[in-house]
Every structure is written in C-alpha cells, then in structure tokens.
Amino acid sequence: MSLRINDIAPDFRAETTQGPIQFHQWIGDSWAILFSHPKDFTPVCTTELGYLARIEPEFRKRNVKLVGLSVDPVDSHSRWLGDIEETQGAKVNYPIIGDADLQVSKLYNMLPAEEPGTSEGRTAATNQTVRSVFVIGPDKKVKLMMTYPMTTGRNFDEILRAIDSMQLTSKFRVATPANWKQGEDVIIAGSVSDEEAKKLYPQGWKAIRPYLRVVPQPK
C-alpha cells in the first residue's frame, strides 16, 4: 500500500529489543517517530541511533516516543546496541523493531509488497529503501514522511524542529515559515479570514501581503 500524509499509520504487532508491541497501543496518547534502517552494523545508521539516544530527552519533553526498525532479527539488534553505546557514547533506551520477515517494511511501503524471502542473505544495498522517518500523531495519522539515501545521515534536529511546528499548528490556527524555530514569529493560517483573525489576534498583525500575515508565536 502507498502512504500519504493524514493516512492512518498501519498498525502491526512486532518483536522489539524491549519485548513485543502492538504499535497503535504502544503509541497511546503520545506522538511517535518510527525510523527505519536497512541493516544492523552499518556505519551511518550506527551514528543515527546514537545521536537519537543522546537527544531522546528532548523528544520526551514533547510527548514523543521513539522506535527504530532494522531489517534484521532482534538478537542481532541487541548485539548492535553494544557497538552503538561504545562508539557513540550514548545508550539506546528506545525499542528497535526486528523486521526479519520484512512485514513492517512492506506495510509502510519501504519494500514492495511482493518482495520475497526474509532478512536472511539480504544486504544493506538490497534494503536501501528502508531509510525512512514517519512522524505519527496521537490520532494515529501520519503527519510527516522523509526518506534518505543510505550514504546521507538524517538530520534529527530538523525532525525535532518539525515536531515543534506540527504540535504548535495542531493547537493554533497558524503556520510556520521557512526555517522557523521555537519562539519565532508565525503566519496566520490561510483558512482564517481577516474577521476571524481580529478575534484571534486582537493585538493585530503585520500584513506583508494580504495572504502573508505575521504574528508572534501564540502560547
């Protein structure tokens, strides 16, 4: 199946390094980030898992759960975790899904549904499309999707920034401009008329153009 923003994220049951999970139940009332990897013991992914382990407290502050996925069995993940901690200086405290049967990779359209076999004998190059990030809201809908090539490490600071924007814009009728960061000015959503905006923002706004109305970030 293909996935689009605002689709319900496919639910699944899987084994992880922290025991079995039912994905939607595991998310609960939180936001979640599912980020995938083509193979254990690969260099770029090792740095990514380690970096996320270091900044996980920032996600927890925002009520965001992290879960990794790699196309290998859980026992392989468990061995990999030692390498990650030793080389990256951070212990991974979030679960990593074992996707040896390729179930989740196929469910999330990272591998073709008709892809045969299991992780046995597959290489990182074979699985190179399993390099995605899915941000999922408490409503279990996909809010953001990003896919990277194998040789390009993902920018998880950008994903944290995007989370800030999505959580803000889910609460207030605003949008965030290019390169926006927490605390900076925002844009009144295009769906808000000037009459509505007067009630929402009685202090007024800066109209750069009729369609580009800037206000301080609401709290």
Query: Annotated active-site positions, please?
Result: 45
Q: Which amino acid is at 97?
A: I
Burial class for 79, CB neighbours closer than 10 Å (0-12, 13-18, 19+): exposed
Q: Are 71 and 97 in contact (CB under 8 A)?
A: no
Q: Judging by DSSP bridges, how do beta strands 132-136 and 31-37 pair with one another? A: antiparallel
Write down the residue that tokens 């469910």 correspond to: 107
* Nearest by Cα to 95 from 11, 20, 10: 20
Write down the residue that tokens 């998310």 correspond to: 27
